[in-house]
Amino acid sequence: MAVNLPPCVIDCGTGYTKIGYAGNTEPQFIMPSCIAVRESAAVGDQAQRRLMRGLDDLDFYIGDEAIDKPNYATKWPIRHGIIEDWDLMEKFMEQVIFKYLRAEPEDHNFLMTEPPLNTPENREYLAEIMFETFNVPGLYIAVQAVLALAASWTSRQVGERTLTGIVIDSGDGVTHAIPVNSKDSVACCPQTKPTLPQASAHGSCDGLGRYSSPLALWAEGYVIGSCIKHIPIAGRDITYFIQQLLREREIGIPPEQSLETAKAVKERYCYICPDIVKEFTKYDSDPGKWIKKYRGINAINKNEFHIDVGYERFLGPEIFFHPEFANPDFLQPISDVVDEVIQNCPIDVRRPLYKNIVLSGGSTMFRDFGRRLQRDLKRVVDARLRLSEELSGGRIKPKPMEVQVVTHHMQRYAVWFGGSMLASTPEFLHVCHSKKDYEEYGPSICRHNPVFGVMS
């Protein structure tokens, strides 16, 4: 193994995969987590098919190249954050490492991320692929929520570096509310805010500021697995909802581009409103000010089409707070879900959890998302405290509960950035599972990763 080469950090999500080298502040590549494989029943010259027989395993595309590839079937090996097709995932990783990172896997340690409550068997499958197929010297599988918490240390709202908090991780396919607890934290004075790791060709600084042994803090963080809540609303659901709204109102959108158009509208124009009734009134009273024009090109005839984007701007992301708009089977707003998760946690960690609610993932990037969540959650908490006081006849005066939702500029790629911070530390080499240990003990060594434990 070549020394001083930075570890590779790979965060595989349902919709997008983020890859890059440790020590950088942003991933080098962000690509759709899809793979295009040639259709087995492809129509063509029989002689040509005989000639190509045996090369099918090499004939595939990943990422943006895989989208709408003619004569290829586009497949998504990750569903709701969990890898479901390991054969396709192995092919996907092959191109990620060799074509995009342009790395020799034998020369780099790898940090991979996993969703909360990932099964031990999945960790073993991943270890087999990385150690046996790619022959990596070291592998570490990190819990996404803990990495996101560490990434939040870059926020000005954070005055204390702690791994106690609740992570709202919302990507393209899944949203989780994940409580994380630590036994210790390190005070951070205003003059020593968390510093970003600097990119370097031969590695990087530790990325964690002034602490000589940052993993002493990292080691305390564990996920309270029994309290995790899954929310069946994520970025893809918002896209589908906007697509449905546009279909009902706009007739100029080419049918084959309706999903792509809805996604562009979501990313370009959508925001969270403080009051949905007032927002409707605002649009009705002055439509010229608030309705936006979206222009697109028909992929078939190359003609320009344009649509008006009105109520969709705030109705799309509103399904986080009124999920019944899009999913009649789920009626609980995200603020109530977060409150329920914290109330299910041990009583001695509830106050720190309310104080450190961290947003992570692309679907939390809507303008004013954090402000609305903090306001709604504060109302729920205050109502419960008032009820407690009333039921006691005024004899008990509950101490006010501080509610803080942390937003920061690394929020979109918080998990990857947290992994970059961890893999930049010298201690990372000591917690990686080595190829030697894998050959001696087998893939079961990856069932447990020494820095972060899981308490069910």
Confidence at 448, pLDDT banded by 50, 70, 90: confident
Residue 149 makes CB contacts below 8 A (sequence gap 6+) with 163, 165, 167, 180, 221, 356, 358, 418
- Whole-angstrom distance, CA of residue 162 vs CA of residue 157: 13
- Tens digits of per-residue pLDDT, 146-176? 899 888 887 776 667 778 899 999 988 889 9
In the predicted structure, residue 58 carries a pLDDT above the cut 80: no
| Stronger pLDDT, 69 or 443, i.e. the higher one | 443
Among residues 421, 418, 383, the alpha carbon closest in space to that of 403 is found at 383
| pTM given for the model | 0.81
- The domain limits of the chain are 8-36+50-231+409-455, 235-325
Q: What is the per-residue pLDDT for 3? A: 52
Among 56-65, 137-146, 240-249, 282-291, the least confident range: 56-65
CATH of 8-36+50-231+409-455, one of 3.30.420.40, 1.10.167.10, 3.40.50.1240, 3.90.1150.10: 3.30.420.40
The set of residues, in sequence order, having a beta carbon less than 8 Å from that of 31 and lying 6+ positions away, is 16, 17, 19, 62, 63, 64, 100
Rg of the chain in Å (alpha carbons): 24
Instruction: Determine the pLDDT at residue 163.
Output: 80
Order of all β-strands in the sheet with 138-143: 29-32, 16-21, 8-12, 110-114, 138-143, 433-434
Contact 253, 247 (CB under 8 A): yes
User: For the chain, what's the residue count?
Assistant: 456
Quick: pLDDT tens for 246-296. 988 877 888 888 999 999 999 999 999 999 999 999 999 999 999 999 998
- pLDDT tens for 3-39 read 579 999 999 988 899 999 999 999 999 999 999 998 7
Does pLDDT of 202 surpass 80? no
How many other CB atoms sit within 10 Å of the CB of residue 272?
19
Instruction: Provide the pLDDT for residue 360.
Output: 94
Give CA–CA dist 44/332, Å, rounded. 52
Model confidence band, residue 398 (pLDDT cutoffs 50, 70, 90) = confident
Residue 426 corresponds to which amino acid? P
**Position with higher pLDDT, 169 vs 52:** 169
Q: Which long-range contacts (CB under 8 A, 24 or more apart) does 293-298 make?
A: 294/261, 294/264, 294/265, 294/268, 294/269, 296/253, 296/257, 296/261, 296/264, 298/254, 298/257
Q: Which amino acid is at 327?
A: N
Cα separation, 209 vs 192, whole angstroms? 7
What is the model's pLDDT at position 315? 95
155 in Cβ contact with 407 (< 8 Å)? yes
> Which pLDDT value is given to residue 107?
93
- Check if the beta carbon of residue 276 is closer than 8 Å to that of residue 318: yes
**What fold, for 235-325?**
Actin; Chain A, domain 4 (3.90.640)
Phi, psi angle pair for 20, to nearest 5°: 175, -170
Residue carrying the six token digits 């998990």: 415
pLDDT for 406 beyond 60: yes
